[in-house]
Amino acid sequence: MDPQNQDVTHRRSDTPHDAKDAQLEQYRVHPAAKHLTTNQGVRVDDDDNSLRAGVRGPTLLEDFHFREKITHFDHERIPERVVHARGAGAYGFFEAYESMADVTCAAFLAEPGLRTPVFARFSTVAGSRGSADTVRDVRGFAVKFYTGEGNFDLVGNNMPVFFIQDGVKFPDFVHAVKPEPHNEIPQAQSAHDTLWDFVRNQPETTHMMMWLMSDRAIPRSYRMMQGFGVHTFRFVDAAGRGTFVKFHWKPRLGVHSLVWDETQKIGGLDPDFNRRDLWEAIDNGDVPEWELGVQLVAQDDEHAFDFDLLDATKLIPEELVPVRPVGRLVLNRNPDNFFAETEQVAFHTAHVVPGIDFTNDPLLQARLFSYLDTQLIRLGGPNFAQIPINRPVADVHNNQRDGHHQMRLDRGRSSYSKNTLGRGCPIVAGPDHGGYEHHQERVDGAKIKQRSPSFDDHFGQAALFWHSMADWERDHIVAAFRFELGKCDTHDIREDVVALLANVDTDLARRVGAGLGITPPTRTPAPVGEPSPALSIANNPGEGGIHTRRIAILAADGVGGDHVRAVAARLTEHGATCEVVGPRQGPLRASDDEEIEAPRSLLTMGSPLYDAVYVPGGAESVQALRGDADAREFLVQAYRHGKAIGATGEAGALLEHCAVPTDAPGVVVDADASAAFVDTFTTAIAAHRHYDRT
């Protein structure tokens, strides 16, 4: 049975990806195939030697297997995405909490418990496919809903605003943030002259630069990252009434980030850190989950704010318009083939379903053109929707024909509308049969190239963001500005950006300038209203506790085996993953003559790859670690990065030797590996970081 003829999207199911999975099954090639063949199905007798004239003679062009194999290899690469080139993806489902029929006729939001298969892709923006995961950058958060009414793509980022207001500036912004054209340096970084030269000449970037310099730009995990639709979209109900809507994804595990020094070390230790984290979590059954929420604004209230809803450099504070939870996203299956699925998935802001429409946001309007144009060049032509990962589960019937990679076998004589020879098929579906209707609104005005005056405030929400941060978040923002601007060779750029920050906050400009040897000019900063606590990472801890957190157990020969086993067992019960790291890989001799397996060594791992560190007792083990420079560095870095550190027995003396204060916040020391110790250590890990350390 053709899965496209089944309305399997809109049903409750324990395996909601069955609809899409069944569709993909016909394309899967299973590894149990018995014989190697050519693409024509001819079995190959020898795949190690090409056909040649004599043992040492020239290769013969008639070797069709060799020619096919090498030609295919020569054409394996397609153009990478200009932005969002490096990504990771997964399948799952979206489940609605309630009916949203009061504001939208979108069927996938129509019934409590309704599950829709999805594919989600997370990405960095600036870097190429080969760049590292943990760079300071915006992260893409795109979700493709395979609904019974067609595909809906919610294409967003992990930040609710963007750098520019009008899409005509997008090529300029991307050219500025990409490696500089004369020497192709630096890769996947914004810390260079051209980006900051763009910023100083484009004040509308100020709000987004505050987000980019915050810890939001260096997430601990895709699983611990918020997502936003960025733009104001429009819900449309069955009667044609519109409501403005902003989309929010909130992770169940909370919003957590790395620290800057840590990200740079991870880039060398494991450049696939975020990609690996997502894959392994799903592979281990620790499925990531986000809650979808919406901010709804009645059309009559379009102008009720001191900012413009159509301005993509602005957000609606949650304190003004609360986020209404409407469903959950669960990712529970990894792709079978990265290229075929994660690399070839094509998202487009114009992929909407009845009940969801656009607004006049000038940046959104540009994306409605640009995404399709991009897919045409990347994926070889207009039939990219027929690639398995992009195919909707809804029926597809139209008069579009031919083109590169056409895979449909359309039958019949008529390929036009209207027709009689084909009995009028396919016929348009009016509103009574689920046809998509654009929201009707009156639009008039003179043709003009001019920005609306309501877009003019470039500093008010940047100030709101700054004043909504915790003290440690402000410290990190200042350090980020200093690092980024310190990488700029042109003094005038550094000076002008500091002057720009003076429009946001006097103290911010003074602190950034102090690190660069620049005195900011005297400016009147933007007026500050009530802060928005929802903007602070500190106020988004989540409900996951220490679930899926990685704990390093630092040990050597002579380690207290009873301590290791007791603490690891209890932490595992709380959902953490414990891993023994030793001076070498393999079995370690414990003090009770039992063996403790160390799957990792200090040579290949570092504390930046873990969320916390536990050092068990055992005099011999502690003495060995004390004499190991890598072990000492492991602990010093963990402390410097604000992580929880636990020690039992003789290990407390090791912390003191490494100048790690045993009475510091998040450092838990006890003589015994008791249940009370584990409980206190667990609480310290759940806090994520302890930035109150001096």
Active-site residue numbers?
Answer: 84, 157
Alpha helices in 515-670 (DSSP H): 561-573, 619-626, 629-640, 651-657
Exposed e or buried b per residue across 483-519, where buried means at least 16 C-beta atoms within 10 angstroms of its C-beta:
ebbebbeeeebbbbbbbbbbbbbeebbbbbbeebebe
Q: Is the distance from CB of 611 to CB of 551 less than 8 angstroms?
A: yes
Q: How many helices (H) and strands (E) does the chain have?
A: 17, 18
Identity of residue 413 = R
Give the pair of three-digit tokens for residue 246: 């902003």
Angle among Cα 427, 430, 431 to the nearest 5 degrees reads 155
DSSP code, position 182: T
Rounded Cα gap, residues 555 and 615, in angstroms: 7
CA distance 124 to 312: 19
Tokens of 411: 């039958």
The neighbouring-strand residues paired with 59 are 52
Paired strand residues for 157: 140, 228
Dist CA 389 CA 120 (whole Å): 11
CB 501 within 8 A of CB 481: yes
Q: What is the H or E stretch that residue 388 is in?
A: none
Cis peptide before 186 (omega within 30 of 0): yes
Q: What distance in Å separates the CA atoms of residue 493 and residue 511, rounded to the nearest whole number?
A: 17
Cα-flanking dihedrals φ and ψ of residue 453, to 5°? -55, -25
What are the Cα distances from residue 320, in Å, to 120, 293, 302, 361, 532?
29, 15, 13, 21, 9
Token representation of residue 190: 């914004």
CA–CA separation, 25 vs 18, rounded Å? 10
C-alpha span between 580 and 73 (Å, rounded): 41
- The SS3 of residue 40 is coil
Q: What SS3 state is found at 38?
A: coil
Which residue type sits at 311? D
Ranges of beta strands (E only) in 525-621 are 550-554, 577-582, 586-589, 595-598, 600-601, 612-615
What contacts 338, CB < 8 A, 6 or more positions away? none
The one-letter amino acid at 72: H
* Owner of token pair 């950034």: 512
Residue 670 has phi, psi (to 5 degrees) of -150, 155
Instruction: Give φ, ψ of 242 to 5 degrees.
Output: -105, 150
Give the Cβ contact number of residue 374 at 10 Å.
17
Radius of gyration (Cα) for the chain, nearest Å? Answer: 28
In the numeric block, the tokens 């300029």 are attached to 172
> At a CB cut-off of 8 Å and minimum separation 6, what does 247 contact?
154, 156, 227, 228, 229, 233, 292, 293, 294
Distance CA 502, CA 470 (A): 20
Tokens encoding 212: 């980019």
529/526 Cα distance (integer angstroms): 10
Q: How far is CA 610 from CA 281, 561, 576, in A?
A: 14, 21, 11
